[in-house]
Amino acid sequence: LNRRLDGHGTTIFAEMSALAVATGAINLGQGFPDTDGPEQVREAAVRAIREGRGNQYPPGPGVPELRHAISEHQRRFHGLEFDPDTEVLVTAGATEAIAAALLALLEPGDEVIAFEPFYDSYAACIAMAGGVRVPLTLRAPGFRPDLDRLRALVTPRTRLLLLNTPHNPTGTVLTREELAAIAELAVERDLLVVTDEVYEHLVFEGEHLPIAAFPGMRERTVTISSAGKTFSLTGWKVGWATAPAPLVAAVRTAKQYLTYVSAGPFQYAIAEALRLPDAHYEGFRADLRRKRDLLADGLRTAGFEVHLPQGTYFITTDIAPFGEKDAYAFCRALPERCGVVAVPNSVFYDDPDAGRSQVRFTFCKKDEVLAEAVQRLKRLR
């Protein structure tokens, strides 16, 4: 492994899911639903395969049907206009969009400011691009960004702000005021913004606001999202980026040499999914909100300190009430102790103290699975 990838060995999600398989524990670690997305959408993929749509290399930027559907989605939910031919790029999940954006936009030595705890691919992709990660720590309780601190972190080497709202793992949803302040800073210091909004439809408190909609931001922002979360189809790996044509062209250049194109039949099916009526999106959100409250109550009863998330399908907890301080050791031992897998937030921080005792649980699971996990976690007391 080269020095750039030093310290990025195995992702925590793979490690903890392997632990769940090996021990037979309930996996509330890696974020993937245990109920597949809408049947109509799955059938659409089968139909596309049968009818020979997308079985051979689709166009590099994505099939036109999906690019149009993404453009319509951005208008319908966010009032943003993107030309489906030049301002939309389909990627192999949001993960590829993040990688391609960073590889395309960073020069070696460029600084990237990102919230920590950060989704693990940010750190690895900044490293692969030769960039320098500059963390802005979101601290418990509340996990709000310190905007004065953010301003102080900007240097002449800062190229890009890497945002994530709703934020994995803390569940923070940036407010209009926070986004306005970040946007103002980006304009003032002429920074690019790459914003990961994969949980855009999973907001339980407040509302999701895309930073691309703020004054002066459209021209400098790459917005990334994914069908994996919104339609409970994480295995399909359909993601996308929307941005002005020159930025999309840059990201597309990198994408060409990462995957060349993304899987064809799924693209047709996701084009249908994006056009589902509002009731689908609202129903999904209401269901997850209920699951959030179910798991949050259960975790509190089991003795955890709970940080209720405003969005995403994760709950960050603190294990201090158990007299424990090391989230990683706690998560390694948890399957053995009570048959549950979780993810230590500590690995998402550069600052070793900031998240040492934080543990994340996902609630995108069947009610009975959540209930059983809570019963098991109660044995910890």
Burial 226-237 (b: 16+ CB within 10 A, else e): bbbbbbbbbebb
Q: x-or-dash pattern for ligand GLN, window 168-197, by CB under 6 A? A: x-----------------------------
Cβ(97)–Cβ(251) under 8 Å? yes
Residue 29: CB minimum distance to ligand GLN, A: 7
CB neighbour class for 242 (10 Å; exposed up to 12, middle 13-18, buried from 19): buried
Regarding 13 and contact with ligand GLN (CB under 6 A), the answer is yes
Residues 6+ apart with CB under 8 A from 30: 13, 14, 16, 17, 343, 362
Give 168 or 223: the residue with its C-beta nearer to ligand GLN: 168
- Going 170 to 176 to 177 to 181, the CA torsion angle's sign is positive
Asked if 106 and 128 count as a contact pair (C-beta separation under 8 A), the reply is no
Dist CA 106 CA 101 (whole Å): 8
- What value, to the nearest 5°, has the Cα angle with vertex 170 and ends 169 and 176? 120
CA torsion angle for 275, 279, 280, 283 (degrees, to 10)?
160
Taking CB within 5 to 8 Å according to partner kind, which of ligand PMP, ligand GLN, none is near residue 239? ligand PMP
Q: Which is nearer to ligand PMP, 341 or 374 (CB)?
A: 341
Chain residues binding ligand PMP by CB under 6 A are 31, 93-95, 119, 164, 168, 196, 198, 226, 228, 234, 237, 239
Q: Please state the closest distance from residue 93 (CB atom) to ligand PMP, in A.
A: 2
Residue 110 has φ and ψ, to the nearest 5°, of -65, 140
30 binds, among ligand GLN, ligand PMP, none (CB under 5 to 8 A by kind): ligand GLN
Pick between residue 31 and residue 58 the one whose CB is nearest to ligand GLN: 31
Of 93 and 131, which has the nearer Cβ to ligand PMP? Answer: 93
From 20, 31, 218, 270, residue interacting with ligand GLN (rule: CB under 6 A): 31
Number of chain residues interacting with ligand GLN (CB under 6 A): 5
Residue 94: which of ligand GLN, ligand PMP, none does it interact with, CB under 5 to 8 A by kind? ligand PMP
Question: What residue ranges bind ligand GLN (CB under 6 A)?
Answer: 11, 13, 30-31, 168
